[in-house]
Amino acid sequence: MAEALILSKPIKDTSCTIQLTGSKSESNRALILNASSKGKVEVRNLSSADDTVTLNGILEGLRPVNGAAVASVSEVPTVNIGPAGTAMRFLTAYFATTGQEVILTGTERMKQRPIGILVDAVKQLGAEIEYVEKEGFPPLKFKPSFEQKTNKVSIKGNISSQFITALLLVAPSLPQGLELTIEGELTSSPYVQMTLAMLAEAGINHTWDGSVISIPAQAFQPSVITVEPDWSAASYWYAIAALSDKSEINLPFLKQNSLQGDSRISNIMTSFGITTAFTDEGLVLVKSASEINGDFFDLKDCPDLAQTVIVVSAALGHNATFTGLETLKIKETDRVAALQNELAKIGVKLIEENELYHLDCSGLHFPDKITIKTYEDHRMAMAFAPLALKINQLEIEEPEVVGKSYPSFWEDLRKAGFVF
């Protein structure tokens, strides 16, 4: 484990150009499409994130790559995806419906993240899966056969959009296709829309009528998917812009009409005085005002932005209310509890009231030095790093966790004038 980093930002203005890695969300979907199409779908500008490297290594041949360990247990190959939650969900559907005989496991935290809803769905389709340890949780053992029993499956929409995406990605390859009914409200809808748009890029047709998404059995078409830079990574630069005295930050190649749900950060951050100017080269962030004009944020469609937006609001002393955070408790850590613990170090409370979360910044203060725990969560490290603009010495524990989605994060902070 790497030593903790102590960050500072002596100059409170920020002016820089940062080239972001490819979107992890797009990359991981594209890799499943590449594997399902047996190479007909070519992928360019893959993310360098650990999760993507791990998934790519597994799909290329079940060989060890950056933590994707493979061993033989009772002659059944074991794939360890480490902390890669997206890989766990996508591979569950992929292994189940392609007749792979394999045991799929991950870190201790991964073994605590529920997957029963997805397993039940692929079992309904005809897959044979056993829980190796605890019912409803990884590790999973897949049997080497798949015979589709039905093409109709229902799944709750408010648990994880990745469960839905996992099923949609394998749908074209199912002998009977798939008719997927989403029960109740759909959380993170943009991620499902991203999946369907990428399937369309690969020549796959679908219909979405009310709560039912239908994808007939069909062949992938020869195609090229070029992955856009990561809007989730861009969100931390919006935070830096918001906490700087002045800012002009260039982020090349990001698109105004993006498939990524986290592109909503450009609209959200207008509330914090940040304007986004799109150019032929990408976008430019400028801090144009110091007044904050929003006090309620619904993050249901973009929960991965929650830590970033909440920390910015807290650091600016803004008593905002948030909703749509229900899925945060089953992420890499319980992100609500983690936020509450770490915000307390600057005197801010995050108060939970049913499904509303209120910031109380009445006790806000900035000590000369604080230490931020990351809870093995990449987004905790990156969401709190911009506080170095307000705190002379900001210590980040386990800084290596950023490799999960944004390996060059610390190097990019140096380019922006952060010192450590």
- Active site residue ranges: 304
In a 10 Å sphere around its CB, with 0-12 CB exposed, 13-18 middle and 19+ buried, how is residue 50 labelled?
A: buried
Question: What's the gap between Cα 265 and its chain centre?
Answer: 14
Find out whether the peptide bond into 222 is cis, omega within 30 degrees of 0: no
Question: H or E stretch including 190?
Answer: helix 189-201
CB crowding 285-306: b at 16 or more within 10 Å, else e: bebeeeebeeeebebbbbbbbb
Q: How many CB atoms lie within 10 A of CB 235?
A: 27
Question: H or E stretch including 123?
Answer: helix 116-125
Beta-strand (E) ranges in 39-139? 41-44, 69-73, 76-80, 102-105, 127-131
Task: State how far the Cα of 232 lies from the Cα of 261, in Å rounded to an integer.
Answer: 9
Beta-strand (E) ranges in 211-332? 212-215, 223-226, 247-252, 274-278, 282-287, 296-298, 321-323
* Amino acid present at 196: L
Query: Would you call 320 helix, strand, or coil by DSSP?
Result: coil
Query: Would you call 297 helix, strand, or coil by DSSP?
Result: strand
Instruction: Please identify which residue in the block is written with the tokens 């399937």.
Output: 199
Those residues whose C-beta lies under 8 Å from the C-beta of residue 135, and which sit 6 or more positions away, are 116
Q: What are phi and psi of 52, to 5 degrees?
A: -70, -45
- Using the 8-state DSSP alphabet, how is residue 333 labeled? S
Those residues whose C-beta lies under 8 Å from the C-beta of residue 200, and which sit 6 or more positions away, are 206
Beta-strand (E) ranges in 25-115? 41-44, 69-73, 76-80, 102-105
